[in-house]
Amino acid sequence: MTTTTTTPAAPPQPIPAAPLSRVRWMISDSWTITRRYLIHWVREPSYVVWGLMYPMVSVLLFGYVFGSAMAVPGGGDYREFLLPGLFGMTMMFGIGNTMMGVTADADKGITDRFRAMPMARSGVVVGRSAADMINSVMDLVILIVCGLIVGWRAHGTIGETLAAVGLLLLLRFAFIWVGIYLGLLAKNAEQAGNFYALLFPLTMISNAFVAPEMMPGWLGAVAAWNPLSSTVAATRELFGNPGLGGDSWIAQNAMPMAVVWPVVIVAVFAPLAARRYRRARR
């Protein structure tokens, strides 16, 4: 007669009580979640490839197909006017990738498993945002290379160019939290797709493709106050690209507003996303 011995499972790790230990705990869990997404992308490269194809197609489509019929207020090459708009639009469209990824995890029960584990609650959403920022840097690098190929140039100093890239990534970071919140809010992939459809008017009614002063009065005002427009206008100024102008207060203060808008968005949606994650019931 043989007997089978089993090794008892290790007890769950207790939640640290000291504030510094809790911070280290959160950072460790966040990095674990970040690595999970990065490994997933390595094993499923089609996700990354198709994500990188979008900015390249956008440059060719808008730069060559539409560019020949567009004029820039005050003169200048339309492609140089367009590329900062495409940079900003790609950062904003990243909401969709974040939202669909969060919704997919919830549908598969992965979010519930995370919530049942003894891990920092903020680690899941912070890890997701870190992974998406890494992906966004890749998108932006590819888009900048495509822009250089079609003739776009950054005419500012190295410092100004880096500042412009920083503003674009700041906008992406802010909208990551919008994507996480909407992904947790959506009940299924279909509803997340409906949320994603709202991005098109939000990106088109901006200064990404056409200067607001060339639009009807009320529509131009809406476009000028779009957070995307402030980032695009600020990056055009830093890159030294054409298209600067506008007499409205928001147009004259695009540089500070390119920082204020993302900070406000993070202040609103980061707590909403964290609270929604804690209360999610899938």
Higher pLDDT, 162 or 138: 162
Q: Tell whether the model's pLDDT for residue 276 goes beyond 80.
A: yes
Q: Write out the DSSP string of 187-253.
A: SSHHHHHHHHHTHHHHHHSSTTTS-GGGS-HHHHHHHHTSHHHHHHHHHHHHHT-S-----SHHHHT
Pairwise CA distance, residues 280 & 278, whole Å:
6
Q: Lowest-confidence range among 44-58, 135-149, 176-190, 226-240?
A: 44-58
Read off φ and ψ for residue 280, nearest 5 degrees. -60, 135
The helix (H) or strand (E) run that includes residue 21 is helix 19-43
The helix (H) or strand (E) run that includes residue 86 is helix 78-107
- Structure confidence at residue 282 as a pLDDT band (50, 70, 90): very low
CA-based nearest residue to 206, from 171, 238, 177: 171
Count the neighbouring beta carbons within 10 Å of the beta carbon of residue 147.
23
pTM of the model: 0.82
Q: Tell whether the model's pLDDT for residue 108 goes beyond 70.
A: yes
pLDDT > 70 in the chain, percent:
79
- Structure confidence at residue 113 as a pLDDT band (50, 70, 90): confident
